Amino acid sequence: MAFRIIPRSEWGAKYGYGPHTRQLGNLEKWLHHSVTVAPDTVAPFTDDYAAIRTIEKIGHQRFGSYGFPYTFAFTPAGLIFEGHPIDRVGAHTQGHNTAGAGFVLVGNYENMRPTTAQREAIAWTLRHGVERGWWKTPGLNGGHRDTKSTACPGRYAYAEIGEINRLAAAGGVQLVNRPVPTSPAQIRLDVDGKWGSDTTTALQVVFNLPIKDGIVSRQAATWEDDNPGLTTGWQWLTSGYDAGSPTIRALQEFLKAKGFYTGKLDGLIGPQTIAALQGYLASVGAYTGSADGEIWKPSTTVEALQRRLNTGRL
């Protein structure tokens, strides 16, 4: 079975995702269960999406601005949902929220066993996280009960931790995503006009940034609707975005050095940054459109950016 992480924007997240950011690179991984109703394993999986929204609503009621408390959620069909962005602090494992990611099985695993699809989905996510630079080793640190007095993640799920870690270490599940490039020469982007995590990772590799996680953090939500071509890995905030993204700041510094950007080095994408990127891409013969400062879906600007990155440079 092939896997992917369903982003918040796709499953219909309604609430926020925590007021605090954290560093990636060596996160812990803790297993939980939701003790909510488990959806079935029959397509079209609308009940899976509804189950995730239910967990989010409960999380918002309990934890306020933290919204969806877990980092990833896994349904019996093997679907993987993004709970909160990987660089945000959740509310899942007291004493380990900043240092750890919360993996939640949807359902009550005191009374039911995890499915094969769930075990493989968690194993895939553990390996994917190593490749993305979120943590160093592809294994769960344990269950919630290892950190406090609780039955979570349920006796049947807890008994599966060893098998999940074995699967992850053995690499016995299929990866949808291509291997994450570690050098500009390894960049192989689909030229699809959608600026998602793979395009961001390629920029991070070209700029040799210390974290290459495919995430554009802390962006002003006011620009989201105007730029539908900015897809996966974009963190849209209504407040708390003052620090911006190191990736966008590196892009702004590059464009400023080339004479195309005159604005603030604030790490926010905005129309001025996009227009400067369009001007630069036109100057190197990669783009023939106007400098309108917007990213549509699909976007000829992003297509030009992707073709340029596939040469191993910007």
CA–CA dist 248, 7 (Å, integer): 21
CA–CA dist 126, 139 (Å, integer): 6
Provide the percentage of residues in the chain whose pLDDT is more than 70. Answer: 96
The pLDDT score that the predictor gives to residue 175 is: 44
Any bridge partners for residue 21, and if so which? 88
The pLDDT score that the predictor gives to residue 177 is: 45
pLDDT tens by residue, 252-289 = 999 999 999 999 999 999 999 999 999 999 999 999 99
pLDDT tens by residue, 153-178 = 999 999 999 989 988 988 754 444 45
- Contact predicate 92/30, CB 8 Å: yes
The pLDDT score that the predictor gives to residue 92 is: 96
- Distance (Å) of CA 203 to CA 97, 111, 310: 29, 46, 10
Q: Which residue has the higher pLDDT, 314 or 171?
A: 314
The pLDDT score that the predictor gives to residue 151 is: 96
Among residues 26, 36, 48, 28, the alpha carbon closest in space to that of 118 is found at: 48
The pLDDT score that the predictor gives to residue 1 is: 55
Tell me what the mean pLDDT of segment 7-26 comes to: 90
Report domain extents, the chain.
2-175, 184-309
Burial (CB count <10 Å: 0-12, 13-18, 19+), residue 191: middle
pLDDT tens by residue, 173-216 = 444 445 678 899 999 999 999 998 889 999 999 999 987 878 78
The pLDDT score that the predictor gives to residue 238 is: 78
The pLDDT score that the predictor gives to residue 217 is: 81
The pLDDT score that the predictor gives to residue 167 is: 87
Which of 118-122, 133-137, 186-190, 234-238 bottoms out in mean pLDDT, i.e. has the lowest? 234-238
2-175 maps to which CATH number? Answer: 3.40.80.10
Average pLDDT, the chain: 91
The pLDDT score that the predictor gives to residue 250 is: 97
The pLDDT score that the predictor gives to residue 104 is: 98
- ∠ CA 54-60-61, nearest 5°, is 90
The pLDDT score that the predictor gives to residue 18 is: 82
CA–CA dist 58, 13 (Å, integer): 13
- ∠ CA 204-127-11, nearest 5°, is 75
Tokens 């909160």, residue? 84
The pLDDT score that the predictor gives to residue 179 is: 62
pLDDT-based confidence at residue 62 (cuts at 50, 70, 90): very high
SS (H, E, C) the chain: CEECEECHHHHCCCCCCCCCECCCCCCEEEEEECCCCCCCCCCCCHHHHHHHHHHHHHHHHHHHHHCCCCCEEECCCCCEEECCCCCECCCCCCCCCCCEEEEEECCCCCCCCCCHHHHHHHHHHHHHHHHHCCCCCCCCCEEHHHCCCCCCCCHHHHCCHHHHHHHHHHCCCEECCCCCCCCHHHCCCCCCCCECHHHHHHHHHHCCCCCCCCCEEEEEHHHCCCCCCECCCEEEECCCCCCCCHHHHHHHHHHHHCCCCCCCCCCCCHHHHHHHHHHHHHHCCCCCCCCCCCCCCCCHHHHHHHHHHCCCCC
- Distance (Å) of CA 209 to CA 159, 200, 202, 247, 250: 39, 11, 10, 8, 8
